Amino acid sequence: MKFGKLKQTSSILLTLLTASLVYKATAAVDGVLSSSSNGSSDVTFALGVSGVIVDLRDFSFGTWSGAGEFRDNDDLCIGTTGTAEYIIRADGQGAGNDFILTSGANEINYRVFWNDTIGTAGNFELTSGVQTTNMTNPPNTFNWLGGLSYECVGDRDANVEIVIDESELQSAQIGAYIGTLTLTMVPQ
């Protein structure tokens, strides 16, 4: 059975924690009337960490040959401010955030793998809708290019891989399948 073009459109959910300024007015001490006066005030500041995923591309598998699986991966860049730890979560467009591609009412399941370094050696499978904690990666910085565009300053440092198993392809109906994978990275 042959299929039309399989395309996995990837989108990114950017999670950005903003900076905040906290001022404690009750801790201030006024000066006294004299030839010189000293007052004091506590000033506190909390800066949240920010993060962005950049250099992610769309996955287009083309036409299935009738044998084997589809497998493709992408090295990307994770940029953060002030931390090397992060949480990653992957969501598909199916019920319960399942990883599915659709062609009309027909569906094909796919699998997603993550690596906190480039390449696929040592990657692990993500469960849809489930956060994977305790990820670490050197904190790349990023430049804002305007609007919602950023560029990574440094090398690509993570990898996402998509696999469509042969058994899924063999049992699927003919059609052009498409879906959206949303990756959410939250710096810790």
For residues 172 and 65, what is the distance between their CA atoms, to the nearest angstrom? 14
Would you say residue 36 lies in a domain? Answer: no
Would you say residue 31 lies in a domain? Answer: no
Domain limits for position 156: 6-13+51-187
Q: 57: left (phi > 0), else alpha (psi -120 to 50), else beta?
A: beta
Which is nearest to 112 in space by CA: 104, 100, 96, 95?
Answer: 100
Name 30's bridge partners.
Answer: none
Four-residue CA torsion sign, 92, 98, 99, 103:
negative
CATH of the domain at 105: 2.60.40
Instruction: Say if residues 48 and 19 touch (Cβ distance below 8 Å).
Output: yes
Q: Tell me which DSSP letter residue 128 carries.
A: T
Look at residue 5 in the predicted model and tell me its pLDDT. 33
> How many CB atoms are closer than 10 A to CB 178?
16
Would you say residue 141 lies in a domain? Answer: yes
Would you say residue 181 lies in a domain? Answer: yes
Would you say residue 152 lies in a domain? Answer: yes
List, run by run, the mean pLDDT of 10-residue segments along the chain (188 residues). Answer: 34 26 46 73 59 88 94 91 84 94 96 95 95 79 80 87 97 94 89
Instruction: Give whole-number Cα distances, 84 to 4, 40, 159, in Å.
Output: 41, 36, 16
Would you say residue 20 lies in a domain? Answer: no
Q: Is 120 exposed, middle or buried (0-12, 13-18, 19+ CB in 10 A)?
A: middle
How many domains does the structure of the chain reveal? Answer: 1
Would you say residue 33 lies in a domain? Answer: no
Whether this model's pTM surpasses 0.75: no
Would you say residue 131 lies in a domain? Answer: yes
Instruction: Say if residues 54 and 141 touch (Cβ distance below 8 Å).
Output: no
Which is nearest to 178 in space by CA: 162, 167, 155, 159?
Answer: 162
